[in-house]
Amino acid sequence: VPTLAWTGCGLRIIDQRLLPGREKYLDCDTVRDLATAIRGLAVRGAPAIGISAAYGAVLAAMESEEGPSFRESALAGIETLASTRPTAVNLFKALDEQRRILQASASRAEAIAALLASACAMRQSDLEASMAMGAAGASLLGDDARILTHCNAGGLATAGLGTALAVAYESHRLGRLSRVFADETRPLLQGARLTAWELTRAGIPVTVMPDSAAATVLAAGLVQAVFVGADRIASNGDVANKVGTFPLAIAARHFGVPFYVVAPLSTFDPCCADGSAIPVEQRGRDELDSLRGRRIVPASADVFNPAFDVTPSDLVTALICERGLLRKPFDRAIAELTRQT
The residue type of 39 is R
Decide: 50 and 163 in contact? Cβ < 8 Å. no
Site for ligand MRU in 183-212 (CB under 6 A): 190
Q: Which is nearer to ligand MRU, 101 or 262 (CB)?
A: 262
Contact by Cβ (8 Å): 89, 53 = no
Q: Is 231 a catalytic residue?
A: yes
Residues 71-90 that bind ligand MRU (CB under 6 A): 88
Residue with Cβ nearer ligand MRU (61 or 159): 159
Q: Give the number of residues in contact with ligand MRU, rule: CB under 6 A.
A: 19
C-alpha 170/C-alpha 192 separation (Å) is: 21
Report long-range pairs for 21-27 (Cβ below 8 Å, ≥24 apart).
Answer: none
CB 232 within 8 A of CB 290: no
Residue window 210-239: x/- pattern of binding to ligand MRU, with contact defined by CB under 6 A: -------------------xxx--------
Nearer to ligand MRU, 249 or 307 (CB): 307
Instruction: Reduce the DSSP state of residue 39 to 3 states and report it.
Output: helix
Is the CB of 17 or the CB of 328 nearer to ligand MRU?
17
Which of 174, 169, 229 is CA-nearest to residue 203? 169
CB 276 within 8 A of CB 176: no
- Identify the residue among 62, 242, 244, 317 touching ligand MRU (CB under 6 A): 242
Provide, rounded to whole angstroms, the least separation between the CB of residue 269 and ligand MRU. 13
Q: Are 232 and 194 in contact (CB under 8 A)?
A: no
Q: For residues 64 and 245, which CB has a smaller minimum distance to ligand MRU in the complex?
A: 245
Q: Taking the complex as a whole, how short is the minimal distance between the CB of residue 189 and ligand MRU, in angstroms?
A: 10
Round to whole Å and give the CA distance between 210 and 185.
7
313 near ligand MRU, judged by CB under 6 A:
no
Smallest distance, ligand MRU to C-beta of residue 305, A:
11
Pick the catalytic residue from 126, 231, 269, 309: 231
The whole-angstrom separation of Cα 127 and Cα 20 is: 23
Instruction: Write out the residues near ligand MRU by the rule CB under 6 A.
Output: 41, 44-47, 88, 151, 153, 157-158, 162-163, 190, 229-231, 241-242, 307
